[in-house]
Amino acid sequence: MQFLVTGAAGFLGSALANRLAREGHNVRGLDDLSTGDPSVLSPSVNFTRGDINDRPKLWTLLQGVDCVYHLAARVLVPESVLYPREYDKVNVGGTVALMEAMHDVGVRRVVFISSGAIYGEQSEQPLREKATPQPRSPYAVSKLAAEYYVRTIGRLWGIETVCLRVFNAYGPGQPLPPVHPPVIPNFLRQAALEGTLVVHGDGYQTRDYVYLDDVVNAMCGAATAPGVNDLVINVGSGVETSVRELIRLVREVTGGNPEVVYNPRNDGGPARMCADLTLAKEKLGYSPAVSLEVGLRNTFEMDAKLRKLKG
Find, among 123, 4, 114, 11, the residue nearest to 68 by Cα. Answer: 4
Provide the phi-psi class of 173: left if phi over 0, else alpha when psi is between -120 and 50, else beta.
Answer: left
Question: Which residues are catalytically annotated?
Answer: 139
- Single out the residue of 294, 12, 95, 139 nearest to residue 302, CA to CA: 294
Q: Which is nearest to 212 in space by CA: 272, 294, 277?
A: 294
- Please tell me whether residue 276 adopts helix, strand or coil conformation: coil
Residues 6+ positions from 36 with CB-CB distance below 8 Å: 7, 8, 9, 10, 13, 14
Segments in 158-291 forming alpha helices (H):
183-192, 212-222, 243-254, 278-284
